Amino acid sequence: MKMKNKKEELLSQKVLKNISSLFLLLKEQNEPDLNLDRFKLLGKEIKDREEFEKEVDEFFSILTRLIQDRKIYKEELKVAEKIQEALIPDEAPEIEGFDIFPYFKAARVVSGDYYDFIPIASNLIGFTVADVSGKGLPGSLIMSMARSVLRFESQQNPFPGLVLRHVSSVLLKDLKPGFFITMVYAILNTTSKVLSVSSAGHNPVLLFRKSEGEIQELKPRGVGIGIGDELFFEKHLFEEKFFLQQGDIYFMYTDGLTEAMNESEEEFGLERVKEIILENSDKSSKKIVEEIIKEVESFRKDAPQNDDITILCLKTK
């Protein structure tokens, strides 16, 4: 009897050693925490060898599956990262009479945000900032589709509302339940300095008027692409036009900026963004954005970045 107990004890120690090794490997893979103490107790409390081995086999099965899933997930992330790198422009276009500066920072390896500059004609250029609800590889693929459709439709007509309507019509066929895109799209006539803006459920755009020394919140009506059917989307779509004068600032962003949180879970908020723009309105687009990001990071302190941040700032010289 003592010999049998001794053998079972050695078996328990050996198996638990293997469990510990696999558990540590899993931790290195950044998997969610698993409670190893439960299985250490099993080695002491379970007297029946078959019961013990059954529990251990189950644990091994769970860990092995999680590790395999993690490997697949990592491969998907690599693909998604490459897709995202191809989506984000390397630099802002140089347009006479305008100062443009974009900013992008992902909260994780792969972002759900996207911005773009779309040349349409010699005197027309499109600007967009978008946010897809899905993350990882599915989100990147959806954003890649949205970019392709948006770029194609932008060449067909110079009206942002009509462009978004066609983009929605195409994407609705492929968007699965739970996935949607918010997007603001603007077309700038660099000759007349008229800006046409349409929104698909995106955050308000900010427009600083130098002549008035005030900031307007532009809130074109609209719902996210993928929320409701085609008729519902079209019904809520609207387009606005603005004439930009010297010193005016057009500011687009994603909610990762305004919803950045500190350790007390207080949000940075849109009012802080507006205050910083007002205080730095005489500076370049780059300086304005840099000042905003500096204040956001100071506000967050040690709190992690909880969402992607994308900004596109356009200033009339």
List, for residues 235-272, the tens digit of each pLDDT value. 889 899 999 999 999 999 999 999 999 999 999 999 99
pLDDT at 73 over 70: no
Predicted confidence band of residue 68 (pLDDT cuts 50, 70, 90): low
d(CA 299, CA 297): 5
Which one has a higher pLDDT value, 52 or 307?
307
Averaged pLDDT, 84-91:
78
The yes-or-no verdict on residue 299 having pLDDT over 90 is: yes
170-224 pLDDT, tens digit each: 888 877 777 889 999 999 999 999 999 999 999 999 999 999 999 999 887 789 9
pLDDT at 124 over 80: yes
Look at residue 19 and tell me whether its pLDDT is greater than 70: no
Write out the CATH class of domain 88-316: alpha beta
Better-predicted residue by pLDDT, 315 or 14: 315
pLDDT at 241: 94
Domain boundaries, the chain: 2-81, 88-316
Calculate mean pLDDT across residues 5-20: 49
pLDDT at 22: 46
SS (HEC) of the chain: CHHHHHHHHHHHHHHHHHHHHHHHHHHHCCCCCCCCHHHHHHHHHCCCHHHHHHHHHHHHHHHHHHHHHHHHHHHHHHHHHHHHHHHCCCCCCCCCCEEEEEEEECCCCCCCEEEEEEEEECCEEEEEEEEECCCHHHHHHHHHHHHHHHHHHHCCCCCHHHHHHHHHHHHCCCCCCCCCEEEEEEEEECCCCEEEEEEECCCCEEEEECCCCEEEEECCCCCCECCCCHHHHHHHCCEEEEECCCCCEEEEECHHHHCCECCCCCECCHHHHHHHHHHCCCCCHHHHHHHHHHHHHHHHCCCCCCCCEEEEEEEEC
Q: What is the pTM of this model?
A: 0.75
Does 309 score more than 60 pLDDT?
yes
Q: How confident is the model at residue 70 (pLDDT cuts 50, 70, 90)?
A: low
Place of tokens 């969402």: 307
